[in-house]
Chain A
């Protein structure tokens, strides 16, 4: 379970998150939505323990993330940040192997190598395993990073706008894979993802957390919380939910 209790975050004296209290259990995809500057990325980083709250506490499976040591945090949540700028000359296998670092601290064992093989299998990366990252397309690269985060073997995967640089085909591919990961099975993970594309949120999210100006607007199951009125208020523009071919689609009105 992720529990935020009266969490506020300030940067250089300016409030970024304001008194956020929120909790949700494992399972499914939780989408963080809201306009630019709402504090979505900061919330994700606070959950991962990389941003210390000015006040309040963040607990993941009971662990106080602000006080935990980095390897301990990394065994509870895997975070894929927005601007991954890895310049080292790594192959895909090397990168995925780094996902195991909090388990082996640079000395991989058989269990770690097995986990890397599983990650390459699950994300269909075997044909690319020995390719260097700088030789991959944007979609392949993002898939490799998600595989690295999965290999961390944490109950939670936190992803900060992983679709921002992807075309619709690759974005859909990533979301289909994440959706598959949340289904029951040995590879199951709970996903918390920052999304700007409301259509993707409407299609894939099980749960919605909406933020505006650093405050929590609403949170709950997507079918209840995500309404045209809520989205219109959240983004300050007319939006409606239409049902097309059996799926919810967000349209401007």
Chain B
């Protein structure tokens, strides 16, 4: 049953991708097709990476409300971008070779994410309230520091930071996209190899360890994959806080399964479908630009509130 739903989800993504690519296609066909396919690929890579990373993160944290963005990862990204512009100067930052910038950002974000998630889950893993509060407060602290640093920038440098920290699919570099896609494939493959262990890890440490799971090792590997996936997608287009929550919640709701062999690809497909169909509606049907992430954040935020308010009291 769940397998059929997964196939159906994949079919919906293919249909939306075809619509996005071919709707109202005009001459010069080659040029427009090439632009659209690049954008389609970036939407799919980012959606799949964030969807997969969120399911993994929620399993690791044993909580369906949390996402890397909610516990401070996005604030960390804004902080790092601001500090890069501040230390290199606007011209220095802009003059960085795109590939080097992408590589360095990805590497910094992976290390920072590992430290952030490691500290949060090690210190507060048993206490979700403490984990969320620590993440939120860390986020406020980092945004505050970034805000302070942004006041030291001149207007042109500030504009560069604004552009770098707002998610956009408009100008994705193809080489970066290819690297991101390769890393996504690597991450997805590693996550799928871990899927059977994650099924057990989802029962929580106290239940899973006596059943024979090397829990701490699995969590470490899973966190490594999460760090890589969110770092790659954020470095590619910028942060989208609530997309993961939407994709993971929909994957659980649609597939009605605890099996990560289905949930992981399911969340990846749904993440990609949300972005592709959203971009199709806004760009092709409504003729709007740059509003997709705002809507994703709005809907994701509403879902987050709904999930928080719906949770039964312990």
Our verdict on whether A and B bind, yes or no, reads yes
Which A residues lie at the B interface, using CB under 8 A?
A: 48, 50, 69-71, 73-75, 77-81, 83-90, 94, 98-99, 101-102, 105-107, 148, 152
Within B184-210, the residues touching A (CB, 8 Å) are 195-197, 199-200, 202-204, 206-207, 209-210
A102–B258 CB distance below 8 A: no
Q: Nearest Cβ in chain A — how far from B215, in angstroms?
A: 8
Q: How far is the CA of A203 from the CA of B261 in the complex (A)?
A: 47
Residues of chain B lying within 8 A (CB to CB) of residue A75 = 212
Identify which of A90, A107, A148 contacts B196 (C-beta below 8 A). Answer: A107
Residue pair B212, A83 in contact (C-beta under 8 Å): no
Question: Closest approach, in angstroms, between the C-beta of A4 and any C-beta of chain B?
Answer: 18
Given A50-B209, A87-B62, A89-B256, A98 contacting B203 (CB threshold 8 A): yes
A-B contact pairs, 29 of them (CB 8 A): A48-B210, A50-B209, A50-B210, A69-B214, A70-B213, A70-B214, A73-B212, A74-B212, A75-B212, A77-B210, A79-B210, A80-B210, A81-B206, A81-B207, A85-B62, A85-B204, A86-B203, A87-B62, A87-B204, A88-B202, A89-B258, A94-B258, A98-B200, A98-B211, A99-B211, A101-B212, A105-B196, A106-B199, A148-B211
Q: 15 extra interchain contacts, Cβ-Cβ under 8 A, other than A74-B211, A75-B212, A86-B207?
A: A70-B212, A73-B210, A73-B212, A77-B210, A84-B206, A85-B62, A87-B64, A87-B202, A88-B258, A89-B256, A89-B257, A98-B203, A101-B212, A105-B196, A107-B196
- Report B154 CB to chain A, min CB distance, Å: 50
Given A50-B209, A74-B212: A86 in contact with B204 (beta carbons within 8 A):
yes
Contacts of B213 in A (CB 8 A): 70, 101
In whole angstroms, how far apart are the Cα atoms of A105 and B210 in the complex?
13
Of the candidates A70, A85, A90, A107, the one whose C-beta lies within 8 Å of that of B258 is A90
CB neighbours (8 Å) of B252 from chain A are 89
Cα–Cα, bound, A148→B214 (Å): 18
- B residues apposed to A, CB below 8 Å: 62-64, 195-197, 199-200, 202-204, 206-207, 209-215, 252, 256-258
In the bound assembly, the distance between CA atoms of A250 and B307 in angstroms comes to: 48
Complex formed: what's the CA distance from A37 to B153 in Å? 57
Q: Once bound together, how far apart are the Cα atoms of A129 and B214, in whole Å?
A: 28
**Most chain B CB atoms below 10 A, which of A70, A87, A152:** A70
B215 nearest CB neighbor, chain A only: A70
Q: Which residues in B have their C-beta under 8 angstroms from that of A106?
A: 195-197, 199-200
CB neighbours of A99 from chain B (8 A): 211
A66 to B118, CA, bound (A): 24
Among A84, A88, A101, chain B packs the most CB atoms within 10 A around the CB of: A88
Query: What is the minimal beta-carbon distance from B62 to any residue of chain A, in angstroms?
Result: 6
* A85-B196 CB under 8 A given contacts A70-B212, A101-B213, A152-B211: no
Cα–Cα distance between A149 and B195 once the two chains are bound (Å): 22
Residue of A nearest to B210 (CB): A79
> Which residues of A lie under 8 Å from residue B206 when comparing CB positions?
81, 83-85
Closest Cβ neighbor of A71 among chain B residues: B212
Residue in B197, B203, B212, B215 whose Cβ sees the most chain A Cβ within 10 Å: B212
Q: In angstroms, how far is the closest chain B Cβ from the Cβ of A66?
A: 13
- When chains A and B are docked, how far (Å) is the Cα of A101 from the Cα of B202? 13
| A-B residue pairs, 4 tightest by C-beta | A106-B196, A102-B212, A74-B212, A79-B210
Once A87-B64, A87-B204, A90-B258 are accepted as A-B contacts, the answer to whether A70 and B199 lie under 8 Å apart by CB is no
Give Cα distance in the complex from A106 to B214, angstroms.
14
Contact check, B207 vs A101: say whether CB atoms are below 8 A apart.
no
**Chain A residues near B199 (CB-CB < 8 A):** 106
CB distance from B312 to the nearest CB of A (A): 9
Closest A residue by C-beta to B200: A101
A146→B113 CA distance, assembly (Å) = 39
| Nearest Cβ on chain B to A125's Cβ, whole angstroms | 18
Q: Is the pair A84, B207 in contact by a Cβ cutoff of 8 Å? A: yes
Report how far A230 CA is from B191 CA in the complex, Å.
55
Given A86-B203, A89-B258: A101 in contact with B210 (beta carbons within 8 A): no
Distance between B204 CB and nearest chain A CB, rounded to angstroms? 6
Q: Does the CB pair A74–B210 fall under 8 Å? A: yes
Chain B residue nearest in CB terms to A134: B312
> Which residues of B sit under 8 angstroms from A81, Cβ to Cβ?
206-207, 210
Q: Which residues of B contact A152 (CB under 8 A)?
A: 211
Residue of A nearest to B213 (CB): A70
Residues of chain A with a CB closer than 8 A to B62's CB = 85, 87
The chain A residue sitting closest to B206, CB to CB, is A81
- The verdict on A101 contacting B258 (CB below 8 Å), with A87-B62, A88-B202, A106-B196 known, is no
- A99 CA to B211 CA in the complex, in Å? 6
Q: How far is the CA of A144 from the CA of B136 in the complex (A)?
A: 37
- Residues on the B chain within 8 Å of A73, using CB: 210, 212
Tell me the complex Cα distance, A85–B125, Å. Answer: 13
Give A152's nearest chain B residue, CB to CB.
B211
* Least distance between B129 CB and chain A CB atoms (Å): 14
Chain B residue contacts of A83, Cβ below 8 A: 206
CA distance A106 to B199 in the complex (A): 8
